[in-house]
Chains A and B, each alone.
Chain A
Amino acid sequence: MLYAALAIAAAITALLPFSAALKRRFLANHQLAPPSVASWIAIGLLPKMYGGKHEFWMSAEPLTEFMRADLRRAPFEVAHFWVNHSPGRAVRLDDARASAGSVGGITYVRIESSYGDEALTTIYRVHPADGRVVVRALP
């Protein structure tokens, strides 16, 4: 049984460099933007640490492509980080969650990931409301 589970999981993992659909699902999981709950769970159980290239930017106003190309063009503060995997974690604001909640401001989180020839960018609007941190992807 465990042999079979490992063989199936390893086969899916081995397909990653060759399957565009799998790459897109892989990147979507890293960015907390899965196409379905089933996909989220299936990919979530696979080992993918330090896999793919991931960066995110956090700012109080949306970061345009023009500003993204050179952060010195942004007339507001922008925090930029590289992360090993799962850049979607940035929307949780983690250490700053309580202070962000009490201040009540909006944070824009732009996440860029790529693997091989596939790339994905997701921009989230994060704001505290009614005791929660509301996270919504921008179209």
Chain B
Amino acid sequence: MIADAEALRRRALRVATAGWLVGWYWKMLPNAGHLREAAAWPIDIDTLPALLRAPWLAIVAYALPLAGAGALFAGARRARLAGAALLALAAAIGCVHVELFNDATFVTSFWTALWIAWLAAASDDELGRHGPLLARCVVAFVFFGGAVGKLSGSYWSGEVFYHLYFEQKGNWPYSALRAAAADATLHTLARWFSRFVIGGELALSLGPLLPHRLYVWMACAAIAFMVLSSTLFLFSVLASLAAVLVASTWLTRLRA
């Protein structure tokens, strides 16, 4: 089985990196427009250092994964490690740059890039033992962060989701619900929708404790639900999570 390790590693790296890139560039057109505007009118805010306000850094960070992915797809071990490091560096910059910080794509990309870096660096005998578990830990941690942020009265009551989705969103089904249902009904729907989301995210936080294939199915179903119930743009945030889970499933073949 160990003889197949390098081939499985390459396949897993390619799948994880390809999915990661799909998420990263999913909103390429709006992001390109935003960065063009940022270059023309840079933000000057004194709470952040000049580097984290520099439009050139945001533009370089956004383009950087192309080079990183090239190394991951084509290179030998050192090149793959450098490629994965570039993905993580680009995502880390995205998390803290004034022009990009609000997009959760960069947070999920950062933690999944660390898994890709681990995959590039791990020894053959570690792949099967730790790869799938680490992938579940990464995805579970991201959902745990989402769940903890909602452990408050304003989410439990549905107030936040009422305003964000049932009142503000212009797309289906929210526009149709507004037209068809009374405000009190919308509040009730928002309350149960919110509790369902909190419960779902807490369940997905249990990834390290669940069988791998069950968790992959659960997480991918949750990702599909989240994208369909919110906006297709959300795929940019979640694609890298789905990609590492799917990629890590190949590594289960290496378990003794």
Contact = CB atoms under 8 A, between A and B. Distances in A.
Interface in B130-144: 134, 137-138, 141-144
Interface residues of B, number: 54
Interface stretch (B15-23, B90-98, B210-218): B90-98
B242 to A, nearest CB: 15
B152 A115 contact: yes
A49 B146 contact: yes
B145 A51 contact: yes
B145 A2 contact: no
Interface string B11-49: 000000000000000000000001001101111111111
Given A2-B118, A44-B101, A47-B108, A13 B145 contact: yes
Nearest to A17: B151
A46 interface: yes
B41 A101 contact: yes
Contacts of A5: 114
Contact of A85 (B47, B98, B102, B141): B102
Interface stretch (A58-66, A69-77, A130-138): A130-138
Contacts of B44: 132-135
Contact of A49 (B49, B145, B160, B168): B145
Q: What secondary structure prevails in chain B residues at the interface with A?
A: helix
A132 to B, nearest CB: 4
A136 B43 CA distance: 11
A116 B155 CA distance: 10
A115 B152 CA distance: 6
Contacts of B163: 55, 82
A98 B40 contact: yes
A5 B45 CA distance: 31
A37 B107 contact: no
Contact of B95 (A45, A114, A137): A45
A16 B148 contact: yes
Nearest to A23: B152
Contacts of B108: 47
B104 A47 contact: yes
A132 B137 contact: no
Given A92-B99, A135-B45, 20 more contacts: A2-B118, A3-B134, A6-B111, A9-B141, A10-B141, A32-B98, A47-B104, A47-B107, A47-B111, A47-B145, A48-B107, A48-B145, A51-B145, A81-B168, A85-B104, A91-B45, A114-B152, A114-B154, A133-B44, A136-B45
17 contacts: A2-B118, A14-B148, A16-B149, A17-B151, A41-B96, A44-B96, A47-B104, A49-B107, A50-B146, A50-B150, A53-B160, A86-B101, A86-B102, A89-B101, A92-B43, A132-B42, A133-B42
